């Protein structure tokens, strides 16, 4: 990507830095069975401590660590699979579930062979059975990228790789804004940024369905997402010093503009109209200059 982004985004964030020298995450699909299974490993730890059996303690602690690691990985894998299912064009997620299944197998081996002093073959069987049961319970990760329909790509003159790269880049910036927003103290600003990121995600979903505007939309998304991320990051780092100052109110005005423009562009895409990108980019630049946040 060219440095078209960085020059403008640095202009946006610099004034915030100089002035002083969220949305709630979606409900997680927590694998509670693995957390419950962890409690059954506590008994061998206690027994190992009471009867001075270091192997039993080490094996049980290893099983606990494996199960907790697996729970975290499988939760991330289920969230990634949910996002994958919701998107029309996306890359396959990392193999979180697969690594989690392996961790469960290692936990089974540790509790059987190391903590339980069972023969090696029984430990391998126990680990294999636990991994298999985990696969049945939680499934495997999606492994294929979702690309453009061949006819759509031909009409738009697009390549799947370019569309995937543009969408993933924009999604990454949305996640960065969400991360920065969680550090803000103001509930009002968090809620406004939650609406902005939801609108931005909506625009991305619409572009997935009909990516013919992706080239022109990319500049729009880069300008607004980079600008918003840098402004929010700068304000978050200095929010205590900027509270009740004119720049704090200017920051709100900028977010109002960003929220309004994303909502407008979402409606434009729903009507299948052309994106008036140059006008909307100029709107943001003018707003930033007027409010002094540039």
Q: Which range among 145-154, 183-192, 230-239, 282-291 shows the weakest confidence by mean pLDDT?
A: 282-291
Distance CA 174, CA 187 (A): 19
Q: What percent of the chain has pLDDT over 70?
A: 75
pLDDT per residue as tens digits for the range 151-164: 666 555 667 777 77
User: What is the pLDDT at residue 280?
Assistant: 54
pTM: 0.64
Distance CA 46, CA 48 (A): 5
User: What is the pLDDT at residue 131?
Assistant: 96
Structure tokens belonging to residue 102 = 């392996």
CA distances from residue 173 to 26, 179, 180, 228, 278 in whole angstroms, order as listed: 18, 10, 11, 9, 21
Average pLDDT over residues 227-254: 80
User: What is the pLDDT at residue 140?
Assistant: 94
Query: What residues have CB less than 8 Å from 288, skipping those under 6 apart?
Result: 11, 12, 227, 254, 294
Q: Band the pLDDT of 22: cuts 50, 70, 90.
A: very low
Contact 231, 254 (CB under 8 A): yes
Of 92-96, 149-153, 244-248, which one has max mean pLDDT?
92-96
pLDDT per residue as tens digits for the range 44-89: 999 989 988 999 999 999 999 999 999 999 999 999 999 888 887 7
Average pLDDT over residues 28-47: 87
Residue 112 scores a pLDDT above 60: yes
Owner of token pair 């550090």: 183
What ranges do the domains of the chain cover?
Answer: 4-22+148-291, 32-138
Beta bridge partners of 55: none
């Amino acid at each position: 990507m060219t440095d078209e982004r960085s020059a403008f985004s640095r202009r946006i964030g610099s004034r915030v830095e100089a002035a002083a020298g969220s949305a709630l995450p979606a409900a997680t699909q927590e694998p509670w069975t693995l957390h419950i299974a962890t409690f059954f490993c506590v008994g061998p730890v206690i027994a190992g401590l009471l009867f001075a059996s270091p192997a039993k303690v080490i094996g049980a602690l290893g099983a606990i660590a494996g199960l907790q690691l697996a729970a975290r990985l499988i939760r991330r894998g289920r969230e990634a699979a949910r996002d994958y299912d919701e998107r029309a064009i996306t890359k396959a997620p990392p193999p979180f579930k697969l690594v989690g299944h392996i961790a469960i197998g290692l936990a089974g081996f540790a509790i059987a062979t190391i903590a339980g002093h069972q023969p090696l073959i029984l430990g391998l069987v126990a680990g294999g059975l636990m991994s298999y049961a985990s696969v049945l319970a939680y499934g495997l990760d999606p492994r294929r990228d979702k690309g453009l329909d061949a006819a759509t790509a031909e009409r738009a003159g697009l390549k799947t790789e370019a569309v995937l790269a543009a969408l993933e880049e924009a999604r990454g910036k949305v996640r960065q804004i969400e991360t920065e927003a969680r550090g803000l103290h103001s509930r009002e600003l968090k809620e406004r940024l939650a609406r902005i990121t939801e609108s931005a995600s909506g625009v991305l979903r619409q572009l997935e369905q009909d990516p013919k505007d992706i080239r022109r939309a990319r500049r729009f998304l880069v300008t607004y997402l980079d600008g918003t991320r840098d402004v929010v990051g700068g304000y978050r780092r200095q929010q205590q010093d900027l509270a009740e100052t004119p720049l704090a109110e200017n920051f709100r005005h900028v977010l109002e503009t960003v929220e309004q423009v994303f909502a407008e562009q979402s409606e434009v895409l729903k009507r299948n109209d052309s994106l008036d990108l140059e006008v909307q980019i100029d709107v943001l630049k003018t707003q930033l200059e007027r409010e002094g946040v540039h």
